[in-house]
Amino acid sequence: MGEVDPSFIQEPEHRPKLAVIKAEGIPQIDLSPFINSSPSAVAIDDLISQVRDACKNWGFFQVINHGVPVDVREKLQSAAKKFFDQPLEEKKKVKRGEGNPFGYYDTEHTKNVRDWKEVFDFTVEVPTLMPASYESDDEQTAEYSNQWPDHPPELREASEEYVKEVEKLSYRLLELISMSLNLPANRFEPFFSKDQTSFVRLNHYPPCPAPDLALGVGRHKDAGALTILAQDEVGGLEVKRKTDGEWIFVKPTPNSFIINVGDIIQVWSNDMYESVEHRVKVNSGRERFSIPFFLNPAHYTVVAPLAELTDERNPAKYKSYNWGKFFVTRKRSNFKKLDVENIQIYHFKKPELEDNIVSLIENVVV
């Protein structure tokens, strides 16, 4: 990417600190009791309570013994490196464009500042159905498929194998999260079993001559339900600690995955769990690779706090919204610098005072 163009420069208050804060990191959870075929009830209960604590306190956790074979992950990591090692003209042959949001690109903006990275996105469900536009009155849908490059030839198969394994893990995690909210294990399954809009991103962060000014990914929250991230040994991910807003470095642990709850789980849980801000630092010496799997529901999913988790004492904090429209609106702002803030779930937040008054009136009447 050469010199640091001004479009990459973060506002002073969002620039990264180069020193790493020594702190207790995000919790690590050993999933082996859940991956084993005959786990004890006590072990499962313990796991559920670890997941509950991690989701409440951090919104993030790291899992080990997760059941995804290490060779499946390594095959994709090495194919991804081969892909990004090619000259730009080669990568641009599978560039995302007006007609297809999946493929290669290097001009993503997060909060209107350009990210120091290049990515290759591919979708899980082929074809993936999505609203054709972000306009709320346009009901047309579009069908998207993947654009696989000729080189390296193994990228497609490595990607498809990886998805199969990580998707299984995502369902197990959803079950744990569901039980941690005192819901049946399969409560979330119908949102994903048909027409899911999940996708995988291969991230490449090249060495950056100004790691004090730019970020690999600017501060953001993931918009979907759940993210399962594989990071390499270089490190760079930072999570905003809920207790004090400090940015905490996520130390790479070999063969682990980093899990975070996204905005949709925040809304479903009516703020019991929070989708937490994170960002990626870059460095001047080493390139870094990471692979997030974004678990997203069908585009027609109407996202709202779950009825089981709300009542008159804890009324729904959000108005419902359409996932597909939210997603395409967010994507639009990620690819060009806009003058407006991109769409966020707090735009759907109900005014609390009004809620309280309504529930007070209801209580008086009843």
Count of residues that interact with ligand AKG, criterion CB under 6 A = 11
Q: Does 115 bind Fe ion (CB under 5 A)?
A: no
Q: Does 277 bind Fe ion (CB under 5 A)?
A: no
Nearer to Fe ion, 222 or 232 (CB): 222
Q: Does 218 bind ligand AKG (CB under 6 A)?
A: no
As measured in angstroms, the least distance from the Cβ of 119 to ligand AKG is 8
Nearer to ligand AKG, 175 or 222 (CB): 222
Q: Which of residues 189-208 bind ligand AKG (CB under 6 A)?
A: 201, 203
Q: Is 328 exposed, middle or buried (0-12, 13-18, 19+ CB in 10 A)?
A: buried
* Peptide bond before residue 127 is cis, with ω within 30 degrees of 0: yes
As measured in angstroms, the least distance from the Cβ of 222 to Fe ion is 4
Nearer to Fe ion, 52 or 219 (CB): 219
d(CA 128, CA 142): 8
Q: Does 238 bind Fe ion (CB under 5 A)?
A: no
Judged by CB under 6 A, the residue of 62, 231, 275, 342 near ligand AKG is: 231
Q: Does 237 bind ligand AKG (CB under 6 A)?
A: yes
User: How far is the CA of 234 from the CAs of 1, 107, 180, 252, 334, in angstroms?
Assistant: 19, 23, 32, 7, 25
Judged by CB under 6 A, the residue of 52, 75, 114, 278 near ligand AKG is: 278
229 interacts with, out of Fe ion, ligand AKG, none, CB within 5 to 8 A per kind: ligand AKG
Q: Does 175 bind Fe ion (CB under 5 A)?
A: no
Judged by CB under 5 A, the residue of 121, 125, 167, 222 near Fe ion is: 222
Q: Does 229 bind ligand AKG (CB under 6 A)?
A: yes
Q: Does 292 bind ligand AKG (CB under 6 A)?
A: yes
The one-letter amino acid at 88: L
Question: What percent helix, strand, coil does the chain show, rounded to 5?
Answer: 30, 20, 45
Of 80, 60, 29, nearest to 228 (Cα)?
60
**Strand bridging mode 109-110 / 28-30:** unpaired
Q: Does 217 bind ligand AKG (CB under 6 A)?
A: yes
Nearer to Fe ion, 229 or 298 (CB): 229
Contact 169, 259 (CB under 8 A): no
The one-letter amino acid at 360: L
Whose tokens are 């060009």? That residue is 336
Of 329, 331, 365, nearest to 347 (Cα)?
329
Q: Can you tell me whether residue 292 is helix, strand or coil? A: strand
Whose tokens are 């993931």? That residue is 222
As measured in angstroms, the least distance from the Cβ of 250 to ligand AKG is 8
The one-letter amino acid at 131: P
68 interacts with, out of Fe ion, ligand AKG, none, CB within 5 to 8 A per kind: none
d(CA 15, CA 245): 14
Residues that bind ligand AKG in the complex, under the rule CB under 6 A: 201, 203, 217, 222, 229, 231, 237, 278, 280, 290, 292
Residues that bind Fe ion in the complex, under the rule CB under 5 A: 222
